[in-house]
A and B are shown apart, each in its own frame.
Chain A
Amino acid sequence: MTLKEFWHRLGSPRWFYQISGHFGWAFGALALGLLVIGTFWGLAVAPPDYQQGNSFRIIYVHVPSAILAQSAYMLMGAAGLVLLVWRMKLADMVLATTVPFGMSMTALALFTGAVWGKPTWGAWWVWDARTTSMLVLLFLYIGLYALRQAVPRQETAGRACAVLAVVGVVNIPIIKYSVDWWLTLHQGATFKLTESPSMPPEMWLPLLVNVLGFYCFFGANLVGRLRLEILRREHGTAWVQELMAGGRT
């Protein structure tokens, strides 16, 4: 199958539904394996940080969730662009189903950041550059969610969210830069949570495993949510009716 064919087929929720079942399980199994290995490695095997001691182990859930929070928003921006240009049904479903996942990852990153901040900086909340951009990202997610809830017609809601997601993606780098700049103005060099000087491999390898694990979990979760969304939105079509009647969903 050429790339172009694949692209055209993505336009068909039916085709996606048929091929995605196995992918979902594969991603899920991979995620479980990677997360178990990465978490155990990070929690029990990796050496403690020479400055922060064992509290540094929070990195193995904090960094993956922060990366996923941003990746999910980037995916939504891409899906929004695809929806606006090609009006692909699946893109709208991606846009709709990624919001709750991304929001939960952003909240997790903020929470773990706060918990990590307490032993490191002595305060639950510090206006650190990354924390602040993460908070703004959370508001962007909430905005997308609220907009979808507020627009009555589904198709309209999807395209409105697409515009907002694209505008948001354009803004995110500017927000990040401005917040970074703001910090250099307000406080001197605090040592950053995730930038311990030259992390040795036995510290960053588990991190890599967990980041990959989180990505796989995102994949599995997205596939699961998309399949449900397809059933919901396409419930009037013959193929879904047939599928339901046969009990082979």
Chain B
Amino acid sequence: MSFGSLPEFFAMGGHGLYVWLSYGAALLVVFFNAAWVRFARRRYLREAADRMQRYPPAMRAAQETESGRL
């Protein structure tokens, strides 16, 4: 262990602001990358399920070619 107590650990020898800012940013970036995949996937599946319910198969084919690029 490099630090004796918890406040010492948070202070980082006076460099606390810089260290925690960096680690905070890193956490945010990692979190958002992970969350985006989950979120986008869930939304896509929900939309796809909606499409399936709303349109009969024949219409669905037409609809899908229209919205080819999502």
Contact = CB atoms under 8 A, between A and B. Distances in A.
Nearest to B57: A241
A68 to B, nearest CB: 10
A184 interface: no
A116 B18 contact: yes
A158 to B, nearest CB: 11
Interface string B10-30: 001111001101110110011
Contacts of B15: 53-55, 119
Contacts, number: 102
B13 A54 contact: yes
B22 A112 contact: yes
Given A48-B2, A53-B13, A65 B49 contact: no
At the interface, is chain B mostly helix, strand, loop or mixed? helix
Contact of A236 (B26, B34, B45, B64): B64
Contact of A61 (B1, B23, B45, B48): B23
B13 A244 contact: no
A54 B19 contact: yes
B70 A232 contact: yes
B12 A104 contact: no
B41 A244 contact: no
Nearest to B11: A54
A96 B25 CA distance: 24
A82 interface: no
Given A44-B1, A53-B13, A107 B18 contact: no
At the interface, is chain A mostly helix, strand, loop or mixed? helix
A2 to B, nearest CB: 32
A176 interface: no
Nearest to B9: A44
A228 interface: yes
A249 B49 CA distance: 12
B29 A48 contact: no
Interface stretch (A166-174, A188-196, A217-225): A217-225
Interface string A219-249: 0110011011001100110000000110001
Nearest to A202: B2
Contacts of A55: 12, 15, 18-19
A225 B37 CA distance: 6
B12 to A, nearest CB: 4
Contact of B25 (A46, A111, A119, A221): A111
A249 B48 CA distance: 12
Contacts of A199: none
Closest 9 CB pairs of A and B: A224-B37, A61-B26, A55-B15, A54-B12, A54-B13, A112-B22, A58-B22, A108-B29, A54-B15
